[in-house]
Amino acid sequence: MVTSLRIPIGDCSESPTPSSVSGRGGRAAPAQTIGAKMAMAMRLPVARKPLSETLGRDTKKHLVVPGDTITTDTGFMRGHGTYMGEEKLIASVAGSVERVNKLICVKALKTRYSGEVGDIVVGRITEVQQKRWKVDTNSRLDSVLLLSSMNLPGGELRRRSAEDELAMRGFLQEGDLISAEVQAVFSDGAVSLHTRSLKYGKLGQGVLVQVSPSLVKRQKTHFHDLPCGASVILGNNGFIWIYPTPEHKEEDTGGFTANLEPVLLADREVMSRLRNCVVSLVTQRMMLYDTSILYCYEASLPHQIKDILKPEVMEEIVLETRQRLLEQEG
């Protein structure tokens, strides 16, 4: 497999000291155009090394690709990601086989999001319609957010009127990002969202990372304030939102007052480091949850933020994370 042809085009002015081999020219000649003498790291295609399988319980996983026979035993029941063919249970997606009692299903590694009630998702508004918004949540069908299932500004409780409908674009418009909870799943699999808690709602400043939903670990809570100085929302749909930890927790307004104060450089550095850590974890197929992200963050501290994305660095810090997690689990 061939991957990673990375050509970082220099350093933007804000990033800390450039570390490339040939990177001192920029300051010497201020009038030069970008690219002429700036740093450029060229990488050639390399074969991807197999993930370090010696570690962890991952080795026990029964992995299949579409068409693989899972079992010929007829005593089992088929679940998602499988089909019956000639008395055999065959996988229809690539992923790991999971068994619950007599039920066998295959959890796809790379998949779209299929909603379940109670999930936390991060999504992007794609359309404003009558009494509802269409939201892209990386599922097969667009999700909907009904006007009646969102908080009105100021938390007013009443029936929504025609005036509210007219003001809809003022609340949320195309392109806005929101965090929400799945309220119901329709029979066709489409998801109905609600933001009826002040912690959900429009998202302000931050970084979005899109990963496969299968890599987000289900937990009691998906909102985490990490001790390193930033917060993350790990959407069950694979949308990870990294944002500066809000100062006044109690004054949650459900996203109706946008905080447009510039984010401090230090905070931005933490966020971009977190972002790169999440990307590394995902490349190495590690589950995302608060502890794994935090450990990865700590393991990445010796490296420059931008270096984290170099494959060898990624491998190194993820390996370290993995080891710490194993130790912690005992």
Q: Interface with another protein by CB under 8 A: which residues? A: 75-82, 100-103, 105, 116-118, 120, 148-149, 151, 157-161, 181, 183-184, 194, 196-197, 199, 218-223
Q: Which pair of structure tokens corresponds to residue 75? A: 């005593």
**E strands in the chain:** 2-3, 46-47, 63-64, 69-71, 77-78, 82-85, 88-91, 95-100, 103-108, 120-129, 132-136, 143-150, 177-185, 191-195, 201-202, 207-210, 223-225, 230-234, 239-244
CB of 111 to another protein, least distance (A): 13
Main-chain dihedrals φ then ψ at residue 93, nearest 5 degrees = -135, 165
CA nearest to 195, candidates 264, 262, 135, 245: 135
CB of 115 to another protein, least distance (A): 11
Quote the radius of gyration of the chain (alpha carbons, Å). Answer: 23
CB of 162 to another protein, least distance (A): 10
CB of 281 to another protein, least distance (A): 20
Q: Which is nearer to another protein, 30 or 330 (CB)?
A: 330
Q: Which is nearer to another protein, 105 or 305 (CB)?
A: 105
CB of 197 to another protein, least distance (A): 6
Q: Which is nearer to another protein, 21 or 162 (CB)?
A: 162
Q: Which is nearer to another protein, 222 or 310 (CB)?
A: 222
CB of 196 to another protein, least distance (A): 6
Q: Which is nearer to another protein, 49 or 83 (CB)?
A: 83
34 burial class (0-12, 13-18, 19+ CB within 10 angstroms)? exposed
CB 89 within 8 A of CB 82: yes
Angle at 137 between CA 162 and CA 292, to 5 degrees: 135
Q: Which is nearer to another protein, 69 or 74 (CB)?
A: 74
